[in-house]
């Protein structure tokens, strides 16, 4: 089997020769530590290096998006520094920057970083949100004009060529899209969104309907020439113990959109629709199952997610990715081995691709990451 076949089959509870080996990815600060701890400074592909070091067959099965489609706002806001706040004299800590990111958010970040770090998940950048782009209905009109499905800039000039090249791919091809809760939170801010759901339901429904139609329009255009193996819906909407909104509110505002997107994707031939949400997601899983969602990630253990318990509760109605406690990875040794042993029944039962339960932080040392790699390779059939 190739990586593409393994990925889809594993998440559909079908037989595989080996479960995809995806231990997790480090961020910039993680890599700086690893280079001090034994990863050669000239190595950029640490997965290939680790697999060679551990005598694991080559390959890395993380889904890829090679289409070049831009689902984000066009035009983007100007990235700029608004204020600089130096660290107080004698303070060991860094100063801070007040910046505007490309999405129009005004936030404060450490001056260890710059505004470009907010484009992608380059590192674990903590930010203090000061203002989001939609403060009024007038702001909403400005945002709407930035999401025109027919904008020619959304698809690269060589899109059809890329689609033809993807026809014979041997890896899992995926498209990532923002869910309605995620997207409205980016426009309004978390607190303002939650207040609006109570105080201005028509406005919230208008924005959700707009986003629903916008995304369906783009996906239909995508599916005319190319069907990915996987659609990943980014929908971070849970804290450590509970979701950010309750199941009843999620059902009223979000379930219809999730259901329509899932049906559209499956009808086009997409193998897996995955829901990506941090936090404790137990109360949301029944809604995702009802919506036709196939899998969930990243199953953060520190947030209270107990994967074996979730499997017992929901059976084969939901597949999972992630779920390995990053704290056990940092501890290494017996703690890490116990963590893999804890997950072994779910690994063996199928419908699960194990890996770090989020980005790999810098407190996971390079030797411990290699040990994590080795234990996962054994558990998934690569060693």
CATH of the domain at 14: 3.20.20.210
Block residue for tokens 């990111």: 101
**Whether 41 and 86 share a structural domain:** no
pLDDT at 60 over 80: no
Domain boundary among 109, 132, 155: 132
**Whether 91 and 178 share a structural domain:** no
**Whether 237 and 99 share a structural domain:** no
Question: Which long-range contacts link 156-163 to residues 24+ away (Cβ below 8 Å)?
Answer: 156/67, 156/68, 156/69, 158/68, 159/67, 159/68, 159/69, 159/225, 160/225, 162/66, 162/67, 162/68, 162/226, 163/67, 163/225, 163/226
Task: Tell me what pLDDT residue 48 has.
Answer: 95
**Whether 206 and 239 share a structural domain:** yes
Task: Tell me what pLDDT residue 109 has.
Answer: 94
Which is nearest to 182 in space by CA: 257, 118, 130? 257
Q: What does the alpha-carbon distance between residue 199 and residue 282 come to, in Å, rounded to a whole number? A: 27
Give the pLDDT mean for 111-119. 91
Confidence of residue 344 (pLDDT cuts 50, 70, 90): very high
Q: pTM for this one?
A: 0.95
Half-sphere exposure of 14 (CA within 13 A, CB side): 10
Q: In total, how many domains does the chain have?
A: 2
What rounded mean pLDDT belongs to the chain? 96
**Whether 138 and 121 share a structural domain:** no
The DSSP element (H or E) to which 198 belongs, if any, is: helix 190-199
Task: Tell me what pLDDT residue 262 has.
Answer: 98
Domain boundary among 90, 110, 132: 132
**Whether 87 and 69 share a structural domain:** no
DSSP 8-state code for residue 26: B
Q: What does the alpha-carbon distance between residue 176 and residue 168 come to, in Å, rounded to a whole number? A: 21
Residues 195-218 have pLDDT tens digits of 999 999 999 999 999 999 999 999
Give the pLDDT mean for 159-176. 95
Which is nearest to 253 in space by CA: 319, 183, 175, 149? 183
**Whether 302 and 343 share a structural domain:** yes
Q: Provide the residue range defining the domain that includes 207.
A: 3-75+134-380
Domain boundary among 117, 132, 147: 132
Residues 353-366 have pLDDT tens digits of 999 999 999 999 99
**Whether 177 and 82 share a structural domain:** no
**Whether 82 and 204 share a structural domain:** no
Give the pLDDT mean for 2-18. 96
Residues 75-99 have pLDDT tens digits of 999 999 999 999 988 888 899 999 9
**Whether 43 and 83 share a structural domain:** no
Task: Tell me what pLDDT residue 122 has.
Answer: 85
The DSSP element (H or E) to which 90 belongs, if any, is: none
**Whether 115 and 259 share a structural domain:** no
**Whether 87 and 38 share a structural domain:** no
Give the pLDDT mean for 328-337. 98
Task: Tell me what pLDDT residue 170 has.
Answer: 93
């Amino acid at each position: 089997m190739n990586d593409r076949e393994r990925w889809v089959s594993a998440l559909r509870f079908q037989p595989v020769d080996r479960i995809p080996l995806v231990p997790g990815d480090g961020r910039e600060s993680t890599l700086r530590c690893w280079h001090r701890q034994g990863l050669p400074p000239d190595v950029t592909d640490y997965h290939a290096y680790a697999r060679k070091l551990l005598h694991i067959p080559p390959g890395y099965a993380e889904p890829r998006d090679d289409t070049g489609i831009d689902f984000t706002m066009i035009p983007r806001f100007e990235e700029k520094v608004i204020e600089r706040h130096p660290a107080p004299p004698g303070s060991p800590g860094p100063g801070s920057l007040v910046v505007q990111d490309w999405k129009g958010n005004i936030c404060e970040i450490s001056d260890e970083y710059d505004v470009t770090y907010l484009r992608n998940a380059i590192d674990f950048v903590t930010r203090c949100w000061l203002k989001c782009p939609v403060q009024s209905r007038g702001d909403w009109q400005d945002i709407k004009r930035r999401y025109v499905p027919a904008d020619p800039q959304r698809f690269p000039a060589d899109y059809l060529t890329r689609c033809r090249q993807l026809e014979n791919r041997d890896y899992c091809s995926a498209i990532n899209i923002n869910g309605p809760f995620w997207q409205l939170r980016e426009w309004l801010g978390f607190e303002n969104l939650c207040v609006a759901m109570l105080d201005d339901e028509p406005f919230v429904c208008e924005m959700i309907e707009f986003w629903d139609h916008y995304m369906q329009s783009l996906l239909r255009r995508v599916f005319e020439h190319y069907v990915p193996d996987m659609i990943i819906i980014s929908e971070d909407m849970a804290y450590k113990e509970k979701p950010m909104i309750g199941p009843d509110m999620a059902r009223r505002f979000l379930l219809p959109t999730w259901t329509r997107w899932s049906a559209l994707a499956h009808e086009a031939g997409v193998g897996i629709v995955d829901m990506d949400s941090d936090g404790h997601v137990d109360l949301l899983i029944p809604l995702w199952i009802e919506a036709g969602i196939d899998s969930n990630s990243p199953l953060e253990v520190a947030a209270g997610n107990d994967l074996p318990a979730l499997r017992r509760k929901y059976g084969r109605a939901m597949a999972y990715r992630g779920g390995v406690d990053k704290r056990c990875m940092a501890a290494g040794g017996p703690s890490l081995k116990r963590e893999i042993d804890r997950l072994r029944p779910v690994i063996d039962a199928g419908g699960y691709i194990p890996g770090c339960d989020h980005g790999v932080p810098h407190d996971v040392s390079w030797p411990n990451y290699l040990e994590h790699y080795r234990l996962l390779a054994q558990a998934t059939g690569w060693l």
